[in-house]
Amino acid sequence: MSEVKVIDARNTFCPGPLMELISNMKTASVGDTLELLSTDEGTANDVPEWIAKVGHELISKEKVGEVWHIKVRKAK
C-alpha cells in the first residue's frame, strides 16, 4: 500500500487548499493516497466536486476540530 502524503494547507488562502491538492496530484503516481488538511470551509465541497469531475477517488472526508481531513486517491 502506498504511503499517505499529507498536504498541510491549514490557514492558507493563496493559492489555497484545492490548488495545493491539484499541484500535488500532478506529481503523485496513480494509486497514491493524499490527505489534505484545510481550515477553509469551502474545501469540504470544492475537493469532492473536483475529484468527481476529473475522475479521481474520494476516500474519506471528516472534520476534526476546526480542520477538514480529506483523503483522495489518484486514479489516473
Q: Which residues sit at the interface with other proteins, rule CB under 8 A?
A: 7-9, 11-20, 22-24, 26-27, 42, 46, 49-50, 53-54
Residue 65 CB, nearest approach to other proteins (Å): 16
Q: Is 53 exposed, middle or buried (0-12, 13-18, 19+ CB in 10 A)?
A: exposed
Which residues is 58 bridged to in the sheet? 72
Nearer to other proteins, 15 or 31 (CB): 15
In the complex, the smallest distance separating the C-beta of residue 39 from other proteins, rounded to whole angstroms, is: 9
Please tell me the distance from the alpha carbon of residue 20 to that of residue 34, in angstroms, as a whole number: 11
Tell me how far, at minimum, the Cβ of 71 lies from other proteins, in Å: 18
Tell me the C-alpha distance between 9 and 2, whole Å. 21
CB 47 within 8 A of CB 21: yes
Report, as residue numbers or ranges, the catalytic residues.
Answer: 14
In the bound state with other proteins, the residue whose beta carbon lies nearer, of 27 and 64, is: 27
